[in-house]
């Protein structure tokens, strides 16, 4: 589970706005939205054609500024906020489907709420994706804090921030404050008070998170939140299974002076309860050479993210230099990535002539 801790200032940088007015209706709204969309697409294609950005598929298509969109919308800021929300969802879906980076997701959400601070959906969706999918906890927490400041009457945003702080960022103290805040607002479900009590309780962090996720699955109607809770439960189970397996390996090493050749040896000797498939349907894999044990699905997720990150960095290097980098280490030297390390003994192989990157398992070569 992600353990990065985010602690941005919790001041109200956005003054509470007036209640969100009704959307402009009828032909005027439709015409403004259609014209804005056409203009936005033309601007994107012009930027790509002039070489100011990479191909759209890499995720670096420019996002218009709120000032530009206000001019394009002739005062219909709420319509332009709708437009950026729709564009942001399309961008997320396209990049997710292509398994490509989505570095502009936060900009789409920021632009939508800059045009309409009372638009709750971009805060909630953006915070969840930034923290869970993109591993940007500070940005996700910041977006949700701005949403809470601009929408002090809405329980959904403090509740979601509490949920993410507890389950994803492992900060039950701060989570309790936001659950408690949500519980005092109109329409908030009773479970927020129970989550606050669990969060305030000392210890029991993992079990606490499990209870939160199980109750979310029982009571929540929001499919995105339910999917996140189910994924969090899977991660909790994987962590517990891995701890149990590692403890059994260490006991065997202390008793015999060497690591077991296979996990089956531990099961046959009664040191380890039978290990079935992990929650996502993968398996627990073991390298006796190093003593490493891991979940195959977690390995796959990590390798895929790392590969996409490197492919994106190679594309950006090529867009600027006109040639592919001579090595993956050159990406680190240029500040495009922090490192080119792999996990669980796997390695990245690279062809400088084509820019292609692939994963190899040195234990099987």
Q: Is the pLDDT of residue 102 over 90?
A: no
The answer to whether residue 264 sits within a structural domain is yes
* CATH number for the domain that contains residue 104: 1.25.40
Same domain, 303 and 248: no
Same domain, 246 and 356: no
Same domain, 35 and 132: yes
pLDDT tens digits, residue range 45-61? 554 444 443 444 455 66
Q: How confident is the model at residue 6 (pLDDT cuts 50, 70, 90)?
A: very low
Owning domain of residue 244? 234-288
Same domain, 332 and 250: no
Q: Is the pLDDT of residue 199 over 50?
A: yes
The answer to whether residue 338 sits within a structural domain is yes
The answer to whether residue 206 sits within a structural domain is no
Distance (Å, whole) CA 315 – CA 238: 34
Distance (Å, whole) CA 52 – CA 49: 8
Q: Is the pLDDT of residue 162 over 90?
A: yes
The answer to whether residue 171 sits within a structural domain is no
Q: Considering only 166-175, 190-199, 253-262, 300-309, which range has the smallest mean pLDDT?
A: 190-199
Q: Is the pLDDT of residue 119 over 50?
A: yes
- Structurally, how many domains does the chain consist of? 3
Q: How confident is the model at residue 228 (pLDDT cuts 50, 70, 90)?
A: confident
Q: Is the pLDDT of residue 195 over 70?
A: yes
End-to-end CA distance of the chain: 31
The answer to whether residue 10 sits within a structural domain is no
Same domain, 31 and 148: yes
The answer to whether residue 216 sits within a structural domain is no
CB 36 within 8 A of CB 72: yes
Q: Please give the structure tokens belonging to residue 94.
A: 């396209």
Same domain, 48 and 111: yes
Same domain, 272 and 310: no
Q: Considering only 192-201, 247-256, 345-354, which range has the smallest mean pLDDT?
A: 192-201
Name the region of 352 (left: φ>0; alpha: ψ -120 to 50; beta: rest). alpha
pLDDT at 152 (0 to 100): 95
pLDDT tens digits, residue range 293-339? 999 988 988 888 889 889 989 998 998 899 999 999 999 999 888 88
The answer to whether residue 193 sits within a structural domain is no
pLDDT tens digits, residue range 135-160? 899 999 999 999 999 999 999 999 99
Q: How confident is the model at residue 40 (pLDDT cuts 50, 70, 90)?
A: low
- Taking Cα atoms as reference points, which of 82, 95, 179 lies closest to residue 121? 82
Instruction: Tell me the mean pLDDT in the region 92-111.
Output: 86
pLDDT at 14 (0 to 100): 41
pLDDT at 141 (0 to 100): 96
pLDDT at 8 (0 to 100): 38
The answer to whether residue 47 sits within a structural domain is yes
């Amino acid at each position: 589970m992600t353990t990065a801790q985010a602690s941005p200032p919790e001041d109200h940088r956005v003054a509470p706005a007036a209640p969100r007015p009704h959307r402009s209706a009828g032909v005027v709204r439709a015409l403004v939205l259609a014209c804005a969309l056409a203009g936005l697409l033309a601007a994107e294609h012009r930027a790509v054609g002039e070489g100011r950005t990479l191909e759209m598929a890499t995720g670096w298509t420019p996002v218009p500024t709120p000032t530009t969109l206000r001019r394009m919308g002739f005062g219909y800021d709420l319509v332009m906020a709708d437009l950026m929300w729709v564009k942001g969802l399309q961008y997320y879906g396209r990049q997710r489907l292509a398994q490509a980076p989505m570095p502009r997701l936060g900009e789409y959400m920021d632009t939508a709420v800059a045009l309409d601070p009372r638009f709750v959906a971009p805060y909630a969706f953006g915070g969840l994706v930034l923290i869970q999918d993109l591993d940007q906890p500070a940005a996700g927490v910041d977006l949700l804090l701005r949403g809470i400041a601009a929408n002090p009457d809405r329980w959904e945003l403090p509740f979601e921030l509490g949920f993410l702080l507890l389950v994803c960022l492992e900060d039950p103290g701060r989570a309790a404050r936001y659950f408690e805040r949500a519980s005092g607002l109109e329409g908030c479900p009773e479970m927020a008070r129970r989550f606050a009590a669990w969060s305030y309780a000392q210890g029991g962090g993992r079990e606490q998170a499990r209870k939160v996720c199980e109750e979310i699955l029982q009571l929540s109607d929001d499919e995105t939140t339910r999917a996140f809770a189910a994924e969090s439960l899977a991660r909790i189970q994987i962590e517990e299974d891995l701890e149990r397996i590692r403890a059994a390996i260490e006991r065997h090493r202390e008793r015999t002076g060497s690591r077991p050749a296979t996990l089956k040896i531990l099961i046959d000797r009664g040191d380890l309860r039978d290990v079935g498939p992990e929650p996502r349907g993968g398996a627990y894999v073991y390298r006796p050479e190093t003593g490493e044990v891991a979940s195959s699905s977690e390995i796959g997720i990590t390798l895929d993210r790392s590969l996409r990150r490197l492919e994106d960095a190679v594309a950006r290097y090529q867009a600027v230099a006109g040639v592919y980098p001579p090595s993956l280490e050159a990406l680190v030297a240029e500040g495009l990535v922090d490192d080119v390390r792999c996990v669980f003994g796997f390695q990245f192989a690279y062809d400088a002539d084509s820019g292609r990157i692939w994963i190899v398992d040195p234990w099987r070569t």
